[in-house]
Amino acid sequence: MKTIRTGIVGAAGYTGGELVRLLVHHPHVELVWIHSNSQKGKKLEEVHPDLIGDASLVFTDQVDSKNLDLVFLCLPHGEAKPFLEKQSFAEKTVIIDLSTDFRDESNGFVYGLPETNKDQIQQALKIANPGCFATCIQLAVAPAIKQGWVQDNLHVSGITGSTGAGKSLSATTHFSHRNQNVSVYKLFTHQHLKEINQTFGKLNTGFDQQVLFVPYRGNFTRGIWVTAYFPFEGSLEEAYQVYGDFYQNAAYTHVSKNDIDLKQVVNTNKCLVHLKKEAGQLVAYAAIDNLLKGASGQAVQNMNLAFGLEEKAGLQLKSVAF
């Protein structure tokens, strides 16, 4: 396998930084440039101090599209589409976008959730990486949606770490606000609902229920925890059988009959799913690292699929268990 010549646009932020951390150690990647308008001219370790000694890259505000096999777009939402309208990449350059701009699969993009769309990802030149909450919610209930079990409104709550809001500071991301605090935002209107409903409609064309999602800001930095539930007449054993079959070939989504917790997935590309049957409801818990399986790790997983690599290449990461 040849080395994949790669560039990252928007490499100074959280998702861009996570991509750098993964790609400088990936066995099949040569990271040839890292882009940032705000950090141009700075050495990698000046912006991401933890990467001192790992690479000798310097940030640039120029986009070198020549001899490039792959480009990751880590731009703010709404900026990827105009960026691509101004830039010209070779026809065979793979583009993986981490923003919301193409998750509706417009402009030839394929939605990059490997657990439901692997065949298309393997053939794609343009991949729209899923959102963090969207990834966790979809993986929590995708098998149930496909089985047609959800016949009423789907109730979902989810809590995310502060890194999910990006690197730029705001009133709700400062330590003094987040610490020892929890708050709700975008009640029932979160932007990830569009892509969630899109996937559910593909899994089951008869699905027309509301996804009533309550997102919480958590007082921690990394991770997403989701709880979803709906009326269910079957047994817990039946649910585990269906979920196990659905994810039997998934590289990173694991169904656990033991209780799960957030630390099991932080700093990994895993999604863990646990089921319970209570009060006539099937309850699904799911947990991911929002910056890895919810963003940059999944982007590398999609890269591996698109280039015919082993799906776990460069992603054998250790969880932070304590």
Burial class (CB in 10 A: 0-12, 13-18, 19+), 10: buried
| 59-60 and 29-35 strand pairing | parallel
Sign of CA dihedral 101, 105, 110, 114: positive
φ, ψ for residue 23 (rounded to 5)? -80, -30
In angstroms, the Cα distances linking 121 to 84, 194, 206, 208 are 20, 20, 24, 26
Torsions phi, psi for 270 (to 5 deg)? -85, 150
Catalytic option among 74, 132, 136, 271: 132
- Ordered alpha helix ranges (H), 48-131: 80-86, 114-122
Handedness of CA 75, 98, 260, 266 (dihedral sign): negative
Q: Is residue 192 within 8 Å of residue 77, measured between CB atoms?
A: no
Dihedrals phi, psi of 155, to nearest 5 degrees? -95, 125
> Is 132 noted as a catalytic residue in this protein?
yes
Angle at 301 between CA 298 and CA 307, to 5 degrees: 140
Question: Rounded to the nearest 10 degrees, how much is the dihedral formed by the CA atoms of 69, 74, 78, 82?
Answer: -30
Identify whether the C-beta of residue 222 lies closer than 8 Å to the C-beta of residue 18: no
Task: Tell me the C-alpha distance between 178 and 255, whole Å.
Answer: 31
Residues serving a catalytic function are 132
